[in-house]
Amino acid sequence: MYHLIATDLDGTLLLPDDRIGDYSHGVLQRLLEAGKHLVIATGRSQPDVEAILRPYNLQVHLITANGARISSACKTFDTSEHLPAQVARTLLDASRHVPGLVTNLYCQSRWFTNADSQQLEKFKQNPGFAPTVLEIDEFPSKAVEKIFFIHKDRDHEALAVLEEQLKARLGDQVHSTFSSPWCLEMMAASVSKGSALKKLADFLQVPLSQCIAFGDGMNDVEMLSSIGKGLVMGTAHAKVFQALPGHETLGSCSEESVARYLAANLLTA
């Protein structure tokens, strides 16, 4: 039986308009009442997630910034792991002249970006977590949870080339992943949703074999492959399916497929 349930947000638990559906909310509440631990594991920053969850009053654990920050529901376990300052500055300097990039950074609960006004309109705007627009030279380099690059033209191959260039320069000082095909993310070397979930499970004294998780991005692969059962959304990118052959597949977030699976398999009499 699974006692620790982890789910990604975008493309997984959230509806396309950034809400938790009424059906999903009801199922999650019933799981909590049944004594299950719920974990939101996302690339988003913690204040962004907290603003999304505020209307629902769900006592959940948070893994944010792809695992750079972990916060238990009771707040007695709250830890962060940052990119070394020199590594952060190297990432910013090495990418500043790459065409088509929007550079973003999470630091001390703030979001910094060099996006122009047109690009800002395309971002999902959460009133509780607005970005600060700066030139790259003005970006902070200390206490950085992650740096992520969005391609204006959604050119995955261009980002894949950038990933190889940055990894060749920094080696094992960084961990890279894609939260979507056009969003390349860089964190400290030991940071991932999978490693964060293990730390949280150890704190909660729940074996990883009793964990179940849901996701749709390459940043979910470590988490989905390191636990008792990992399920992939049917709308995931082809590279996710290639990385997780044989994993069970669900429907889409718009169908509230995560909640429907949990209700059918964890809430049955």
CATH code: domain of residue 151: 3.30.1240.10
Do 91 and 67 fall into the same domain? no
For residue range 53-107, what is the model confidence (pLDDT) as tens digits?
Answer: 999 999 999 999 999 999 999 999 999 999 999 999 999 999 888 999 999 999 9
Question: Of the candidates 169, 188, 207, which is a domain's last residue?
Answer: 188
Closest Cα partner for 208 from 32, 89, 29, 39? Answer: 39
| Pairing state between β 78-80 and 69-71 | antiparallel
Cβ distance 208 to 226 under 8 Å?
yes
Question: Of the candidates 130, 162, 188, which is a domain's last residue?
Answer: 188
Do 168 and 200 fall into the same domain? no
Question: Of the candidates 141, 163, 188, which is a domain's last residue?
Answer: 188
Do 238 and 257 fall into the same domain? yes
Catalytic residue status for 8: yes
Strand partners, 39: 6, 61
Do 66 and 95 fall into the same domain? no
pLDDT higher than 70, residue 269? no
Q: What pLDDT is recorded for position 124? A: 61
Do 31 and 53 fall into the same domain? yes
Number of independent structural domains in the chain = 2
Do 169 and 95 fall into the same domain? yes
Q: What pLDDT is recorded for position 125? A: 64
For residue range 114-137, what is the model confidence (pLDDT) as tens digits?
Answer: 998 778 877 766 777 889 999 999
Strand partners, 103: 149
Do 259 and 213 fall into the same domain? yes
Cα-based distances in Å from 124 to 18, 52, 120, 121 = 9, 12, 8, 8
Closest Cα partner for 55 from 28, 79, 74? Answer: 28
Across 139-151, average pLDDT: 97
For residue range 202-251, what is the model confidence (pLDDT) as tens digits?
Answer: 999 999 999 999 999 999 999 999 999 999 999 999 999 999 999 999 99
Cβ distance 215 to 230 under 8 Å?
yes
Cβ distance 13 to 56 under 8 Å?
no
Q: How is residue 101 written in tokens?
A: 């990039």
Torsion of CA 183, 91, 225, 7, to 10 degrees: -50
Mean pLDDT of the chain: 95
Q: What pLDDT is recorded for position 129? A: 86
For residue range 22-60, what is the model confidence (pLDDT) as tens digits?
Answer: 999 999 999 999 999 999 999 999 999 999 999 999 999
Q: What pLDDT is recorded for position 1? A: 85
pLDDT higher than 60, residue 266? yes
- CATH number of the domain encompassing residue 244: 3.40.50.1000
Do 170 and 116 fall into the same domain? yes
Cα-based distances in Å from 190 to 72, 81, 163, 174 = 19, 9, 17, 8
Do 13 and 45 fall into the same domain? yes
Q: The domain containing residue 56 runs over which residues?
A: 4-80+191-266
State pTM to two decimals.
0.95
Do 97 and 181 fall into the same domain? yes
**Residue of 8, 10, 216, 220 marked catalytic:** 8
Do 137 and 89 fall into the same domain? yes
Q: What pLDDT is recorded for position 7? A: 98
Percent of the chain with pLDDT over 70: 99
Torsion of CA 187, 98, 218, 240, to 10 degrees: -160
Q: What pLDDT is recorded for position 142? A: 97
Do 222 and 143 fall into the same domain? no
